[in-house]
Chain A
């Protein structure tokens, strides 16, 4: 039998080997809340949650725990922490926590085989059964979402092997993402989920699109905005800008007496769709870094001529 990596379930559960059944249960609840993939923001939450589920499956069951403790005490563990399970190592009996999706490690399978965990759905297994839907989050750049793209996704599909053990199969799929998908929208790929059982059809793959942050553009649903820096005289007198929209360059007329924060709308130039989103140019008045003596004089003239108090609202408030 090949060597498999030893799993220290006590360490996974942050316990020592004298832990009582109550403290094991308590530790499971605490860590499950911390690492549950639907709640946790930790990057490896899913892996940790699965490890935790496996550890609790063993330590939470007195029979399996006894067996594990014996192995832990006498185990044939090498210097790299890998161990060879003894031939004929008995699979523990008795009900455990119900799992339907957990992919248990080789270490667990080598100890407890296919009887190691109870399949939550085992009772309903008579007759054909449709495979589970598989969920995948796909991070895309704004440019990819705008034009549409092809992406290869690497999936981990739960399946049942010839010995009846639940395993994970790696699969690569090339999917075509249509143009104009928004953050959080879902693509369905029929029949690419987990295989069915007893002649049942395969589940589907559901791909949720996640839009990566862009250094220039801000996105709100199908609307895209970009900040356009303008000089004070451009804002005062108006100007024409050539804007780099996602679909190419577009001309924009900035009206005279524009303000910082003012938005100019380019209808239909956001993300494609029916209807398409809009593209917003947000003006930002910026000062030149340096001023010549002549420019300074011109500003002094402007100060006298305009008679403008930008802080008038403060005086009103007093």
Chain B
């Protein structure tokens, strides 16, 4: 049966090392390194040992992994696909927002 608990959280600002990302997502280190090398996820730091990942980067790597696993997408194509998906989402949002704004200027 479902139960209700109460939590009070602030906006996430957790940072992860490369090893932590691999452990969290149960991913092979090489896959995560590929994601960084192909700009799928941005990191701070110059060497893998120094890399720092934000939660947004970890979520993006997980999404890249799901697409790779479920649709057999080669890691090298993932960067382009994720970029296009982001662009599509942004454009859809922009269109919706512009339509709403436009409706305020047009006569009923």
Contacts and interface: CB of A to CB of B under 8 A. Distances in A.
A136 B9 CA distance: 15
Contact of A171 (B2, B101, B104): B2
B11 A178 contact: yes
A227 B101 CA distance: 9
Nearest to A208: B59
Contact of A206 (B12, B72, B100, B101): B12
Nearest to A49: B70
A262 to B, nearest CB: 14
Given A170-B2, A175-B9, A29 B71 contact: yes
Interface string A71-114: 00000000000000000000000000010100000000000000
A38 B96 contact: no
B10 to A, nearest CB: 6
A181 interface: yes
A170 B2 CA distance: 6
A185 B71 CA distance: 27
Contact of B67 (A29, A38, A176): A38
Interface stretch (A160-168, A187-195, A310-318): A187-195
Contacts of A213: 96-97, 100
Interface string B1-21: 011111111111010000000
B74 interface: no
B55 A39 contact: no
B29 interface: no
B63 to A, nearest CB: 5
B11 A186 contact: yes
B71 A36 contact: yes
Given A38-B67, A188-B55, A206-B55, A173 B4 contact: yes
A152 B3 CA distance: 11
Given A32-B71, A171-B3, A38 B66 contact: yes
Interface string A177-221: 010010001111110100000000001001000000100001010
Contact of A32 (B5, B63, B70, B101): B70
A293 interface: no
Contact of B6 (A29, A176, A203): A176
A154 interface: yes
Interface residues of A, number: 42
B97 A38 contact: no
A181 B67 contact: no
Given A38-B67, A124-B26, A154-B2, A29 B72 contact: yes
A128 to B, nearest CB: 11
A300 interface: no
Contacts of B69: 98, 120
B56 interface: yes
A121 interface: yes
Contact of A172 (B3, B24, B104): B3
Given A130-B23, A284-B105, A189 B7 contact: yes
Interface of B: 2-12, 14, 23-24, 26, 55-56, 59, 62-63, 66-67, 69-72, 85, 96-97, 100-101, 104-105
15 contacts: A33-B71, A38-B66, A120-B69, A130-B23, A173-B5, A175-B9, A176-B7, A178-B10, A186-B11, A186-B59, A188-B14, A188-B55, A189-B7, A192-B7, A206-B12
Given A133-B24, A186-B56, A206-B12, 10 more contacts: A29-B72, A49-B70, A121-B26, A174-B4, A175-B7, A176-B9, A185-B11, A186-B12, A188-B9, A218-B97
The 7 A-B pairs of least Cβ separation, nearest first, read A188-B12, A172-B2, A176-B8, A227-B104, A186-B12, A172-B4, A174-B6
